[in-house]
């Protein structure tokens, strides 16, 4: 049952990203204050979001971060969406990546230890409920 709910959340946020401007996406993200999630809860949410994203066509790192943030916010925990950049293949190529942190835990976005190559560009921290 949880996998179905998380798949629906991933689908919702993937559709949201495709339908709205970055300004409205940023506003939706910037609303998750609260204490950090316990590390075991952060890992559990991250696993469910990551596994359920496999069933969502064109799921992105940002949609996964938004889905995980939504779950943690509903449980009363704060989190921060981080966006970073890295050099891609080719002289003018740049890669962007989003991940979610809660306290010291990376909730989603570091499943393949990819964060070490990204330089933090911005953090979208909560502004209150």
User: Within the chain, where are the H helices?
Assistant: 2-19, 22-29, 39-53, 61-74
Taking the C-alpha atoms of residue 73 and residue 79, their distance in angstroms, rounded to an integer, is 8
Structure tokens of 28? 């939706």
| pLDDT means over runs of 10, the chain (129 residues) | 88 89 77 87 97 94 94 93 88 88 95 91 67
CA–CA distance, 24 with 17 (Å, rounded to integer):
9
Q: What are the backbone dihedrals phi and psi of residue 18, each rounded to the nearest 5 degrees, phi first?
A: -75, -15
pTM above 0.85, yes or no: yes
Tokens of 99: 């991940």
The residue with tokens 């890295």 is: 86
Q: Which two tokens stand for residue 104?
A: 């010291």
Taking only the tens place, the pLDDT of each residue in 76-88 is 999 999 999 998 7
């Amino acid at each position: 049952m949880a996998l179905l709910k998380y798949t629906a959340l991933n689908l919702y946020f993937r559709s949201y990203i495709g339908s709205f401007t970055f300004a409205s996406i940023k506003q939706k993200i910037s609303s998750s204050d609260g204490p950090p999630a316990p590390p075991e809860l952060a890992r559990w949410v991250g696993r469910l979001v990551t596994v359920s994203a496999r069933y969502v066509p064109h799921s992105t790192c940002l949609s996964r971060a938004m889905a995980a943030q939504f779950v943690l916010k509903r449980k009363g925990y704060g989190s921060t969406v981080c966006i970073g950049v890295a050099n891609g293949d080719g002289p003018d190529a740049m890669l962007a990546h989003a991940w979610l942190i809660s306290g010291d835990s990376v909730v989603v976005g570091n499943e393949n230890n990819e964060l070490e190559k990204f330089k933090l560009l911005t953090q979208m921290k909560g502004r209150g409920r």
